[in-house]
Structure 1
Amino acid sequence: MNQGPQSAPASIELVDAFHAAASGRGLSSRLYAEAFGKEYPVEVDPSSSCTWSVLGEMVKRLRLRPDDLLVDLGCGRGGTGLWLARAFSARLVGVDVSPKAVELATERISEFFPGAPDVDVRDRIRFQVGTFAETGLPDQCAAGVVSMDALPFAPDRDAALRELRRILRPGARAVFTGGRNLPGHPKYVPGRRSWEEYISAAGLELEAKVDRPEERGLWDRLNDLWESHEEELRREYGDVDTDAKLAEARNHRPGRPYRITSIFTVRA
């Protein structure tokens, strides 16, 4: 899914359109790279807040072995999962609600595994349509799960984390990013359940939580670039996608000082 940290599209059609616009390493990718600087993982080409630091934390926490199965929930165009699968020599299944994202992610397999026999790669790497609550995967199949800026968009977080626990092998780890609004945020709700409470309710163990205060600056710089390149964005991506970007910049900038995101590591 990987469509940004705070604003969920209203339909699968809009999710498809988002991923179609984000593909191709055009102006959008260049603006992400400029905003993220040295932290931008060029090959991943994320449309999320994925950085080298986040990838390093995922590698550190997952501890996968060659041929282990990694599941990427809300995989979007597949960059995070593909990068990690190659780093670990792991098998990969990416799951996303967007058929377009699944199509684009499948097309990117050859970027990360050039020269590999097609049959061999497709036996080890695949992407499929599914939801957070219904992945379509077998019980206890995954040696690791990742979800980059996607799990917070689950319509039912309890159901999503129960499904995550169901597909994880006993003792296996999942790493995902999620945020919380602090007092002063326009959408702060006193007493709203925390990620720690959702994790516990799903029968998962919280192993580590790493806060990402630097993420605020990444999005501020990117939002500024969207606004300063409005005409170019409209020419390349059209009015619908550009209007969505500008609305995100306008709506989320005031609350960003009162929001913190974290990398959570949980165990089944």
Structure 2
Amino acid sequence: MSDTAAPLKETVGRYGVWSVGLRSEDPSRRGAIAEAAAELEELGYGTAWLGGSSAPGHAAPLLEATSTLAVGTSIQSIWQHDAEASAAGYAELEAAHPGRFVLGIGVSHAKLAEQYRRPYSALVAYLDKLDAAKVPAERRVLAALGPRTLELSRDRAAGAIPYLVTAEHTAQAREILGEGPLLAPELKVVLDEDADRARATARGYLAVYLQLPNYTNNFLRLGFTEDDLRDGGSDRLIDAVYAWGDDNRIRARLEEFQSAGADHLALQLVTGTTDPDDLPREEWRRLASLLD
């Protein structure tokens, strides 16, 4: 790490954008991604989180197009990306853009990785390799949901980037992490004041995640029932994992997560589109106007 690198909480800021569209293998999209990243920086977002199983190489176009924006992987799957290659990619970005790249890693899901075995042990072994390759703990974060992985985020990383969680989970995570580590939950946002329409948009996007046991088991630990997990999620579940509605309602949801202990919110705009390359720039502008 650069000797002058700021603490991670300061680097990432209070708000970031989480987007699959900011990560691409298509060279023809590099310009659009760079342009979007530059605007995110101008709008005041502190971090761009690259959705899907992203890698350090995906961060380069965004870092090159900006001067202060932090860029993080959210997440890099330990099954799809070799630790040594990840360390080399980290070192390259750190040399070119000191203190601005955050390596977010996680175990993904059994349905998405054929080699999925003993995920916690595999994650520990991956961190051991990152240590050996001199990737500093203070520049990496873990996609942690359960207590053991949250403890690992506290002890072997700079903090946690939990995906698809509630304010209650955020409070529990903060208790486990303590005050020092970064806690940066992802939160989905639907900019729609109509309750039925907003929940329908949210439900359509949430349905695929409710097929993944890592998330559903976490919801059950939080007191939701099997009924809450059916048909894209109950209203109770939708309202717990989304911010939707008018400006005041959305601000209140953000404040709820912050009051529960979030240092940073990775905000994902859900618009109803099925295009994974979508860059909802108009919605990012509107959301930025709501942030303090």
The alignment's TM-score, normalised by the length of structure 2, stands at: 0.37
Higher share in strand: 1
Q: Tell me the TM-score normalised to structure 1 length.
A: 0.39
